[in-house]
Amino acid sequence: DAGITQSPRHKVTETGTPVTLRCHQTENHRYMYWYRQDPGHGLRLIHYSYGVKDTDKGEVSDGYSVSRSKTEDFLLTLESATSSQTSVYFCAISDRQTTDTQYFGPGTRLTVL
Amino acid sequence: GESVGLHLPTLSVQEGDNSIINCAYSNSASDYFIWYKQESGKGPQFIIDIRSNMDKRQGQRVTVLLNKTVKHLSLQIAATQPGDSAVYFCAETLTGRRALTFGSGTRLQVQP
């Protein structure tokens, strides 16, 4: 998984609770991304980061926030989880200096009851 | 654990046969394309990529063909093996754009 870890790998939480997912990379890549994967929708971009403290929204950003205080870590926060946020979340990285290829982490399965 | 949709198009092939997985991409301006393989419970894994200035690119046992006229991408897998069973996604982007746009995926089942 190209030096990418995600934690936790599985989480069950209740509606209304805050949740933070962590992505950690050891590749020193500048760009990091959060996607969600749902049946019938494929992979959709939530937020991305193009450097420390530099982030921007993707196509499904409502209800999510992100932070990147270090090159290696990209956090995804659900301030108040809803059942519609039950999904599998993937982090990806790319350097974009030599290629636009994105490499994905192993994913976090989140269930909101 | 199941990571992808339950109603994906499925391609079933015999072990040893060649497989061809197709993808219609959406943006005629896209200039970079990637094929990913996703096994159950895992993240998408890079297989091969191609830029729009090429029509064909070969890797180990895999070939990607690009037809820009009809916005079509295909992945050919030679001598398909049971370990090739997975969901395959194509993705497209425009150089300089931040995000990849993914296709809905095709499930490949290899029969022994």
Q: Name the residue ranges covered by the structural domains of chain A.
A: 4-112
B-chain CB neighbours of A104 within 8 Å are 36, 43-45
Cβ of B36 within 8 Å of Cβ of A56? The answer is no
- Distance (Å, rounded) from C-alpha B27 to C-alpha B71? 8
- Distance (Å, rounded) from C-alpha A94 to C-alpha A59? 19
- The 10 Å CB-count burial string (b at 16+, else e) for B58-69 is eeeebbbbbeee
Residue B2 lies in a domain: no
CA distance B24 to chain A (A): 15
Cβ of B43 within 8 Å of Cβ of A106? The answer is yes
Under a CB-based contact definition with an 8 Å cutoff, are residues B64 and B51 in contact? no
Predicted local confidence at residue B7, as pLDDT: 66
- B109, with CB counted inside 10 A (0-12, 13-18, 19+), is middle
Residue B102 lies in a domain: yes
Say if residue B5's pLDDT is above 60.
no
Predicted local confidence at residue A1, as pLDDT: 53
The residue-averaged pLDDT of B73-90 equals 96
B-chain CB neighbours of A59 within 8 Å are 99
Predicted local confidence at residue A108, as pLDDT: 97
Cβ of A42 within 8 Å of Cβ of B105? The answer is yes
Q: How far apart are the first and last CA of chain A?
A: 29
The residue-averaged pLDDT of B88-102 equals 85
Say if residue B3's pLDDT is above 90.
no
Residue B37 lies in a domain: yes
Predicted local confidence at residue B53, as pLDDT: 94
Domain range spanning residue B20? 10-111
Structural domains counted in chain B: 1
Percentage of chain B beyond pLDDT 90 is 76
More reliable by pLDDT, A21 or A1 = A21
Q: Among 3.10.20.600, 2.60.40.10, 2.30.42.10, 3.30.200.20, what is the CATH number of A4-112?
A: 2.60.40.10
Residue B3 lies in a domain: no
Cβ of A104 within 8 Å of Cβ of B43? The answer is yes
Say if residue A102's pLDDT is above 80.
yes
Residue B52 lies in a domain: yes
Predicted local confidence at residue A41, as pLDDT: 75
